[in-house]
Chain A
Amino acid sequence: MSLVFAAVLSFGLLGLLLGLGLALAGRRFAVETDPREERALAALPGVNCGACGYPGCGGYAHAVACKGEETNRCPVGGAAVAASLAALMGREAAPFEKRIARLFCAGGKDKCPERFTYKGIISCNAANLVGGGHKLCSWGCLGMGSCADACPFDAIAMNEQGLPVVDEAKCTACGRCVLACPRGLFQLVPQSKRVIVACSSKDKGPETRKICKVGCIACRLCERNCPVKAIAVADNLARHDFKACEQHKVCVQKCPQKTIVVFPPSS
Chain B
Amino acid sequence: MKSSDWKDFTNGIVRENPIFRLLIGLCPALAVSTSAVDALGMGLATTFVLAASNGVISLLRTLIPPDLRIPIFIVVVSTFVTAADYLMLAFFPAIHRSLGVFVPLIVVNCIVLGRAEAFAYRNEVRASLLDGLGMGLGFSLALGLLGALREVFGAGTLFGLAVMPASYPPLLLLVLPPGAFLLIGLLIAGLNRFTRRAP
Which residues of A does B touch, CB under 8 Å?
15, 18-19, 22-23, 26
B67 close to A18 (CB less than 8 A): no
Q: Which residues 50-88 of B have a CB within 8 angstroms of A?
A: 67-68, 71, 75
A26 close to B67 (CB less than 8 A): yes
Closest residue on chain B to residue A19 by CB atoms: B68
Closest residue on chain A to residue B75 by CB atoms: A15
User: What residues on B are CB-neighbors of A26 within 8 Å?
Assistant: 67
Shortest beta-carbon distance, A152 to chain B, in Å?
16
A179→B75 CA distance, assembly (Å) = 48
A18→B71 CA distance, assembly (Å) = 9
Q: What number of B residues sit within 8 Å (CB to CB) of A?
A: 4
A18→B75 CA distance, assembly (Å) = 12
Shortest beta-carbon distance, B86 to chain A, in Å?
13
Further pairs besides A18-B71, A22-B71: 9, Cβ < 8 Å:
A15-B71, A15-B75, A19-B68, A19-B71, A22-B67, A22-B68, A23-B67, A23-B68, A26-B67
- In the assembled complex, 11 residue pairs joining A and B whose CB atoms fall closer than 8 Å, in A order, are A15-B71, A15-B75, A18-B71, A19-B68, A19-B71, A22-B67, A22-B68, A22-B71, A23-B67, A23-B68, A26-B67
A6→B117 CA distance, assembly (Å) = 31
User: What residues on A are CB-neighbors of B71 within 8 Å?
Assistant: 15, 18-19, 22
Shortest beta-carbon distance, B182 to chain A, in Å?
24
A23→B66 CA distance, assembly (Å) = 11
Shortest beta-carbon distance, B170 to chain A, in Å?
38
Shortest beta-carbon distance, A178 to chain B, in Å?
27
Shortest beta-carbon distance, A33 to chain B, in Å?
15
Closest residue on chain A to residue B70 by CB atoms: A22
User: What residues on A are CB-neighbors of B67 within 8 Å?
Assistant: 22-23, 26
User: What residues on B are CB-neighbors of A23 within 8 Å?
Assistant: 67-68
A15→B67 CA distance, assembly (Å) = 14
A119→B80 CA distance, assembly (Å) = 57
Closest residue on chain B to residue A18 by CB atoms: B71
A26→B75 CA distance, assembly (Å) = 20
Shortest beta-carbon distance, A251 to chain B, in Å?
45
A26→B189 CA distance, assembly (Å) = 44
